């Protein structure tokens, strides 16, 4: 059987170099929950190889269970960290998901997300004119910033913009930007989904329009620096756009934790509200393993008066996953929460009373797990936590 998407994403060789050593099994959060070989990265890769070895025939078909397993993955790529032969797991999973899409085998949740993004330009199928709904309580502060010429653009992202439960993230972000006297703009209704959910399923061609639109709007406002508190948007702008468009995007892309680090260094943030608290930091997969941001958030959190930052045994490149990425939350919500619960227990076991992350999805996901599983720990995004010290 042919899987042309492997060639398109330049991962044709990857299934063949797998040594089946099983290192990936030990760290895979999904395998840890399910325990079946088919749920492990190596099991999936072995089956992909078997498919490639099949002679082309009309009788060839994808196994339904395999299709399910391919979407039982948070794309955390911990598997890549421990892989003997350093397989490009992210691209491999993207390619296989893209192939399944072409065969019409995507789960209905994925199909719905795709349609929402392509028709409404956001994840939730909401009217994109409501992009600033999060700022309902601070309209006077935020609305004047929409579509203004500025050096810095705050790219809010679909999750933070439309999910009321975490409206505190964009609220805190603009509070900090204002406190540090950063001249910024937001795109408002002109902000389209960054396309990250489409990248997760290898639908790169469909994400091109989104990328072009967002970059055009940013360039019109002569933006030189893009800041986002969403690790998915950060990943899209930083990793996917240059690759997709075949050129540098010409705008510096910063995650909000990186900007915070700079603002602290420049003395532009004053923390006047000390608070004695023991916290731990959860590295989001998309800023951590995918993009290598480990030091800046730790530097920021360590700079807060009264805060003791402790580490969980799994941290940085070996960080556990929150289970919310890779569209797993949409396709397998219970499994996704089980993974989050495991990670939260690690934070509690480490002795932290507050868990901080720097990703809107991690924040949403872990807060939900804390509530649903009745766990005793506080959960904040780095923007929300830092804002408490201003």
Partner 1 sequence: MDPTIIARLSEIVGENDISTSPLERTLYGHDAAPIPGLLTRFFKTTPDVIVRPESADEVARILCLASDSKVPVIPRAAASWSLGGVIPVKGGIVLDLIKLNRIREVSRDELWVEVEAGVVWQDLMEQLLEQGLTVLSYPTSAPSSTVGGWVSTGGYGIGSLKYGHIGQQIEALEVVTPGASGSRTDELPRRSLFTGLYNHDPRSEIRSVSKGTANPKMEWFLGTEGQFGVITRVKLRIRKHPDRTAVRGVCATRLQDLADLVGELTGMREVPYCVKVLDSGLMALRRKLRGVDAEDKNLVLAVFDGSAKEVRAATAAFDQIVSQHGLEPIAESLAEAEWEERYYPMRIGRLGPTLLGGETIVPLDQLGPVLSEIRSLQEKYHLEIGTEAHVVSKGWAVVLALYLADERKALRYMTRLAVIRDIVHIGLTHGGKPYGLGLWDAVYVRRRFGRKDLQELKRVKKRLDPNGIMNPGKFFRADTRFGIPIPMPLYATLMNILSLACRFL
Residue selected from 4, 7, 10, 16 as contacting partner 1 according to rule CB under 8 A: 16
Q: With binding defined as CB under 8 A, does residue 148 bind partner 1?
A: no
For partner 1, the closer of residues 39 and 193 by Cβ is: 39
Which listed range, 11-19, 180-188, 202-210, 329-337, lies at the site for partner 1 (CB under 8 A)? 11-19
What is the nearest approach in angstroms of partner 1 to the Cβ of residue 272? 38
37 touches partner 1 by CB under 8 A: yes
**Given the complex with partner 1, which of 60 and 127 has the nearer CB atom?**
60
Stretch of 13-21, 108-116, 122-130, 140-148 contacting partner 1, by CB under 8 A: 13-21
Structure tokens at 387: 């804002």
Q: Does 19 bind partner 1 (CB under 8 A)?
A: yes
Interacting stretch for partner 1, rule CB under 8 A, among 44-52, 101-109, 264-272, 376-384? 44-52
The answer to whether residue 111 forms part of the interface with partner 1 (CB under 8 A) is no
Nearer to partner 1, 23 or 353 (CB): 23
If one asks whether residue 20 binds partner 1 (CB under 8 A), the answer comes out as: yes
Rounded least distance, CB 79 to partner 1, Å: 12
Binding partner 1 (rule: CB under 8 A), the pick from 2, 4, 50, 268 is: 50
Is 39 or 244 the residue whose CB approaches partner 1 more closely?
39
Among 313, 334, 374, 376, binds partner 1 (CB under 8 A): 313
- When the beta carbons of 32 and 252 are compared against partner 1, the nearer one is 32
Binding site for partner 1 (CB under 8 A): 13, 16-17, 19-23, 25-26, 35-38, 43, 46-47, 50, 53, 63, 65-66, 69, 82, 84-86, 313
């Amino acid at each position: 059987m042919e899987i042309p998407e492997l060639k398109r994403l330049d991962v044709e060789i990857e299934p063949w170099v797998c040594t089946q050593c099983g290192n990936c099994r030990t760290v895979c959060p999904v395998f840890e929950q399910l325990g079946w070989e088919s749920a492990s990265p190596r099991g999936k890769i072995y089956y992909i190889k078997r498919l490639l070895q099949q002679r082309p025939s009309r009788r060839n078909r994808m196994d339904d269970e395999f299709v399910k397993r391919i979407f039982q993955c948070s794309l955390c790529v911990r598997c890549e960290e421990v892989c003997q032969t350093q397989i490009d797991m992210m691209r491999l999973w993207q390619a296989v998901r893209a192939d399944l899409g072409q065969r019409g085998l995507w789960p209905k949740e994925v199909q719905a997300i795709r349609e929402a993004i392509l028709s409404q330009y956001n994840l939730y199928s909401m009217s994109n004119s409501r992009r600033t709904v999060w700022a309902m309580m601070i309209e006077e502060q935020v609305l004047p910033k929409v579509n203004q010429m500025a050096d810095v653009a705050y790219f809010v992202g679909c999750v933070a913009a439309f999910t009321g439960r975490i409206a505190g993230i964009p609220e805190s972000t603009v509070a900090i930007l204002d406190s540090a006297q950063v001249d910024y703009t937001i795109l408002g209704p002109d902000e389209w989904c960054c396309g990250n959910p489409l990248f997760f399923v290898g639908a790169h061609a469909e994400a091109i329009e989104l990328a072009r639109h967002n970059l055009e709007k940013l360039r019109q406002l002569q933006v030189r620096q893009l800041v986002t508190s969403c690790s998915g948007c950060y990943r899209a702008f930083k990793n996917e756009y240059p690759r997709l468009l075949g050129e540098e995007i010409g705008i510096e892309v910063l995650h909000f934790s990186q900007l915070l680090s700079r603002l602290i260094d420049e003395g532009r943030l004053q923390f006047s509200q000390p608070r004695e608290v023991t916290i731990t930091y959860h590295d989001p997969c998309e800023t951590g393993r995918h993009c290598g941001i480990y030091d800046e958030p730790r530097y920021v959190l360590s700079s807060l008066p009264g805060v003791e930052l402790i580490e969980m045994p799994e941290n940085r490149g070996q960080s556990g996953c929150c289970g919310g990425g890779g569209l797993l939350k949409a396709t397998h919500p219970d499994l996704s929460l089980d993974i989050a619960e495991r990670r939260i227990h690690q934070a509690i076991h480490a002795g932290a009373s507050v868990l901080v992350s720097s990703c809107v999805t991690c924040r949403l996901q872990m807060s939900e797990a804390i509530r649903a599983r009745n766990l005793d720990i506080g959960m904040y995004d780095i923007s929300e936590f830092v804002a408490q010290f201003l």
